[in-house]
């Protein structure tokens, strides 16, 4: 049987229940490290110049039609994606707000810190490192159980509602977003394809080890677990 979302111990808690579920300092640290690392992953993929992730193909495509930085486009997109949470009954939290407001600036900052490598082997290393770092970062901050980011809440919400595995849902989302990004003029490459097909399985793998087990009594008493 394929492991689905509930097998990892991810709870769909409301904001207050998330904060009361125990191990809060550790979970906040995981959240911030995960978001920062995600910004690093974005920079590695873009500066590797072998194809950005599907979401960033979309973000870059939008930036071609609007006078905004990549990070600003990411923030606006995140707010728009939150609207898709309504029918999924996905619970937001501190992590949702942090992802919405910080991931874009973290991406812009890391893009200033990294330069495009001059050699192909190093560019390939950037590309591969970006894919692995993104999956690890996603599992790290989603596993903190403080509310997933808008894009990952879409992933976890669909997985919970459909019963599909994380890798299946994540791959479907990445391919859909990629198609829209290409239409908008975003640049694709081998890294884009690798990311679209690989980040879902890798995220599912890392979630096995990075989900923080919550205080069961608090979670049960909240009445907000679905």
Residue 222 has pLDDT above 50, yes or no: no
Give the model's pLDDT for residue 217: 46
DSSP string covering 39-69: HHHHHHHHHHTS---HHHHHHHHHHTSSS--
Give the model's pLDDT for residue 16: 85
Query: Which residues contact residue 25 at a Cβ distance below 8 angstroms, ignoring those fewer than 6 apart?
Result: none
Instruction: Find the largest Cα–Cα distance for the chain.
Output: 56
Least reliable range by pLDDT among 107-111, 129-133, 194-198: 194-198
Q: Which of 11-20, 43-52, 82-91 has the largest mean confidence?
A: 43-52
**Residue 195, Cβ neighbours under 10 Å: how many?**
29
Mean pLDDT of 214-226: 46
Read off the pLDDT band of 216 (50, 70, 90): low
Instruction: In whole angstroms, give the CA distance from residue 140 to residue 117.
Output: 27
What ranges do the domains of the chain cover? 38-221
Q: Whats the size of the chain, residue-wise? A: 226
Give the model's pLDDT for residue 8: 63
Read off the pLDDT band of 127 (50, 70, 90): very high
Please answer whether residues 207 and 143 qualify as being in contact, where contact means their C-beta atoms are separated by less than 8 angstroms.
Answer: yes
**Residue 34, Cβ neighbours under 10 Å: how many?**
25
Taking the model in full, what pTM does it have? 0.82
Give the model's pLDDT for residue 102: 94
């Amino acid at each position: 049987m394929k492991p689905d979302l509930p097998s990892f111990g991810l709870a769909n808690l409301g904001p207050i229940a998330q904060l009361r579920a125990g191990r809060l300092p550790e979970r906040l640290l995981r959240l911030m490290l995960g978001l920062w690392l995600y910004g690093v992953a974005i920079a590695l993929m873009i500066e590797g110049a072998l194809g950005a992730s599907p979401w960033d193909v979309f973000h870059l495509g939008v930036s071609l039609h609007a006078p905004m930085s990549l990070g600003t486009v990411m923030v606006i997109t995140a707010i728009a994606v939150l609207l898709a949470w309504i029918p999924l009954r996905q619970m937001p939290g501190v992590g949702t707000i942090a992802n919405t407001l910080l991931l874009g600036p973290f991406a812009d900052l890391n893009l200033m810190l990294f330069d495009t490598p001059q050699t192909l082997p190093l560019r390939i290393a950037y590309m591969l490192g970006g894919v692995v770092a993104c999956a690890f970062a996603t599992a790290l901050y989603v596993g903190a159980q403080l509310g997933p980011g808008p894009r990952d809440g879409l992933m976890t919400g669909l997985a919970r509602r459909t019963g599909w595995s994380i890798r299946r849902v994540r791959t479907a989302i990445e391919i859909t977003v990629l198609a829209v990004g290409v239409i908008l003029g975003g640049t694709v490459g081998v890294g884009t394809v690798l990311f679209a097909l690989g980040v879902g399985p890798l995220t599912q793998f890392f979630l096995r080890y990075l989900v923080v087990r919550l205080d069961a009594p608090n979670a049960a008493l909240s009445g907000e677990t679905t």
